[in-house]
Amino acid sequence: MACPVTVTIEHDHGIEGAKARIEERFGDLEQSIAGGMGVKFERAWEGDRLNFTAKGMGQRITGELDVFPNHVRIVVVLPALLAGMAEALQGKMEKHGRAMLEDKRTPAE
């Protein structure tokens, strides 16, 4: 049975600011989901939702990232064969998701 993994991350960038950061930095989150397994990602925006699919080693992972004014919700659905890694994946998604949304601008002096 498929195993959904959900992470919610707060931000203060508004929808467009968060989407810009996600577009620029989604590769880091892809790497945390793939775990270095040579997985190929496909992604497409539909409004404020980024749908993505990862394929590799005979497995297919699907997911969606919904952007709201003050938070994002990331849902990754693991196939039954990969369900055992759900807890570890959740921690990685939270860590890389937060980094993806961080404001990395240097403060003005």
pLDDT over threshold 90, residue 106: no
Q: In this structure, what token pair is assigned to residue 100?
A: 């993806």
Q: For tokens 């945390």, what's the residue? A: 32
DSSP tag of 50 = E
pLDDT over threshold 50, residue 109: no
Output the pTM of the full model.
0.83
What pLDDT, on a 0 to 100 scale, did the predictor assign at position 97?
Answer: 87
Local confidence band at 58 (pLDDT 50, 70, 90 cut-offs): confident
- HEC sequence for 60-74: EEEEEEEECCCEEEE
